[in-house]
Structure 1
Amino acid sequence: MAELVGRLDAWLARNRADYYARLRPGLSHAAWLDFESQLGVKLPDAFRVLYQWRDGQGDTFDSFHGNRQWMPAEDIGRVKTLMDGMIGYDFEPGWWDPNWVPFLENGAGSYLCVDVAGPEPGRLVEFWNRDHDRPEIAPSLEWWTYKFVTSLERDRWERTKVGFECVEARDGE
């Protein structure tokens, strides 16, 4: 994961300098331990590597991937506490799982989450606030990051009216 984060860092610095400048500094080891303790779950090592590199994005509404923004640890803790607290009150069974840790958000209450204890711990699950399906979109954060970084390096990405998206593969790919 460290090698992927290095490639992501280089690509963002070179191709999205304004966005890159708004990334928050990474979490210190002590801040990471506090964050994980606050959440009450053991996060995958890939998540730790990502958040010790950068703690999400700062003062920008620009998207990180698709129409989603990268959440700082503080926001993750706030959202997870809120969502977990709604289980059994506002949420029917299966709507939200306390083993999900959101890290990308669309600003409308939907999240990309790491499932820390599901049938395949570490997989990424989409939580849609208005839809019942909870599709798995990647077997792990590391796999998702590999696909994302590889596409950034290979394809053409740009801001669209929806967010930051892959708009076309380059010739020969």
Structure 2
Amino acid sequence: MSEAMDTRVLWKRLEAWLAGHDPARLADLNPPASESAVRELERVLGVALPAGFSDCLKVHDGQRGQAGALFDGNQFLPIRHIAMSWSSWTELLDDGDFDGRVARPDAGIREGWWQRGWVPFASNGGGDYLCLDMVPAAQGRVGQVIEVLHDVPQRVLVAPSFAAWLGDFIHRKTV
């Protein structure tokens, strides 16, 4: 089964669970993003998104944010918020705001407080993000999921891919 097909199957499982246990969060999910919206996001970010993630956006373009965070205290960001968050962090990087700040990344994550190739997809609303790492260090994997906290130097490897992360989240949520 392809990663994109896996994503659709995983969403159906999560939607079924939400329908029975948390209908307000199910109703809070946005409709699908269009193919052109996903391609425009890739253009803005300057990266090709992993198939499983772009397919995820084509199932639900994040959540509205009216019913609480979907992912363990993190809201699933719609495309417009992904682009805004990425732009804000990248502007801070370009302006030198992170100069002198030393991050402590896990193996497989590049040094630096922020990297242009980190794509935020979920946030706790306080400046902390789960990101797709599109520019990993030599030991890492393109598309791995990392945690980036705005005021903590650790950069934590969370999962080897978005599909693995989503599958683990849904498994934990629905069993």
- TM tier relative to shorter chain: 0.7 to 0.9
Helix, strand or coil for the counterpart of 2:114? Answer: coil
Of residues 96-105 and 58-67 in structure 1, the stretch that sits farther from structure 2 once superposed is: 58-67
Unmatched segments (≥5 aa) in structure 2: 1-6, 102-111
Q: Give the Cα–Cα distance (whole angstroms) in 1 for the partners of residues 22 and 44 of structure 2.
A: 32
What is the TM-score when the length of structure 2 is the normalising length?
0.83
Q: Is the 8 A contact 2:10 2:167 kept in 1?
A: yes
Equivalent residue for 2:98, pick from 76, 91, 101: 91
Please tell me whether residue 32 in structure 1 is matched to residue 53 in structure 2.
no
How many residues are paired up? 154
Q: Is the 8 A contact 1:61 1:69 kept in 2?
A: no
Name the structure 2 match of 1:22: 28
- Residues 64-119 of structure 1, C-alpha deviation per residue, up to 9 Å, x if partnerless? 12221111110110110111111151013600111100011011101000001213
Aligned AA for 1:90?
Answer: D
Q: For 1:44-55, what aligned pairs fall within 5 Å after superposition?
A: 44-55=50-61
Unmatched segments (≥5 aa) in structure 1: 155-173
Q: CA deviation at 1:9?
A: 2.0
Helix, strand or coil for the counterpart of 1:53? Answer: coil
Q: Give the Cα–Cα distance (whole angstroms) in 2 for the partners of residues 79 and 2 of structure 1.
A: 26
What is the TM-score when the length of structure 1 is the normalising length?
0.84
Name the structure 2 match of 1:165: none
Q: Give the Cα–Cα distance (whole angstroms) in 2 for the partners of residues 66 and 31 of structure 1.
A: 26
Q: Give the Cα–Cα distance (whole angstroms) in 2 for the partners of residues 115 and 98 of structure 1.
A: 9
Q: For 1:93-132, what aligned pairs fall within 5 Å after superposition?
A: 94-118=112-136, 119-132=140-153
Please tell me whether residue 140 in structure 1 is matched to residue 161 in structure 2.
yes
Of residues 100-109 and 35-44 in structure 1, the stretch that sits farther from structure 2 once superposed is: 35-44
Structure number having the greater strand percentage: 1
Q: CA deviation at 1:2?
A: 2.1
Helix, strand or coil for the counterpart of 1:20? Answer: helix
